[in-house]
Amino acid sequence: MTKAVVVFSGGQDSTTCLVEALQNYDEVHAITFDYGQRHRKEIEVAQALGKKLNVAAHKIINAGVLNELAISSLTREDIPVSAALQDNGLPNSFVPGRNILFLTLAGIYAYQIGASAVITGVCETDFSGYPDCRNDFVKAMNHALVQGMERDLTVITPLMWLDKAETWAMADHYGALSLVKDNTLTCYNGIVGDGCGECPSCKLRKAGLDTYIENKPAIMKAYLDKQRTASSRNGDKR
């Protein structure tokens, strides 16, 4: 039996990854983190989606220590979310160490249940500039997890080289376009579906959807071509 753990926030990206994982693995577990995020409604959304999609198990992990240590517009209500870059070149929505912690905890969970893969929806192609969404970071974390736990484990990033329009194409390919559009929460201000329309996350999501709707055949082809290339390069690790 093949097993996978999906790092699952209930947003567009992680839901699309979960839908794909359910097609590719015999047993899929979801893991969601409560770190006191300003858009913590995403936890309720993730729980509802997990039930709807019938995942094998769904863990909600208290990661409140991240809120205590990391100052960001996503961990402090009194810091407005802004697209402007800070002096360090990063947006103020960057939560330092977030994906380090999430992948570590997801790796521990995968170890305990005997899963061969941890799946996360990070993306280097069309993202907010977070350093912990880059491919080099994921490779380094994957190496550390394997070395630290003496267990074969692959961190899989289905969206790494997709832009947002192609991510919508991926959801559509798996028959989940409406599910992702209407039932996920990507908005930093906690509004389900199309969101507030003003925060950087909502703007990126909308631009991708509009582009996909306008150019469906071409973008679907681009997505499928990238999927075939990735499968050929990586082999079937499932």
Does 196 appear as a known binding residue?
A: yes
Q: Which domain holds residue 224?
A: 3-234
Instruction: Report how far residue 157's alpha carbon sits from residue 141's, in angstroms, rounded to the nearest whole number.
Output: 12
Does 167 appear as a known binding residue?
A: no
Does 16 appear as a known binding residue?
A: yes
What pLDDT does 37 receive? 87
Does 86 appear as a known binding residue?
A: no
Does 12 appear as a known binding residue?
A: yes
pLDDT (tens, 9 = 90+) of the chain, 238 residues, equals: 899 999 999 999 999 999 999 999 999 999 999 988 878 899 999 999 999 999 999 999 999 898 888 888 787 877 777 766 777 778 778 888 999 999 999 999 999 999 999 999 999 986 667 899 999 999 999 999 999 999 999 999 999 999 999 999 999 999 999 999 999 999 988 899 999 999 888 999 999 999 999 999 999 999 999 999 887 666 554 4
| CATH number where 153 lies | 3.40.50.620
SS3 34: strand
Report the run of H or E that residue 229 belongs to, with start and end: helix 216-234
Q: What is this structure's pTM?
A: 0.92
CB 6 within 8 A of CB 14: yes
Does 202 appear as a known binding residue?
A: yes
Domain total in the chain: 1
Does 15 appear as a known binding residue?
A: yes
Does 114 appear as a known binding residue?
A: no
Structure tokens at 15: 């839901």
What pLDDT does 238 receive? 42
Does 201 appear as a known binding residue?
A: no
Does 123 appear as a known binding residue?
A: no
Does 175 appear as a known binding residue?
A: no
Does 14 appear as a known binding residue?
A: yes
Does 199 appear as a known binding residue?
A: yes
What would the DSSP string read from start to end of 127-177? S---GGGSHHHHHHHHHHHHHHHTS--EEE-TTTT--HHHHHHHHHHTT-H
Phi and psi at residue 119, to the nearest 5°: -110, 130
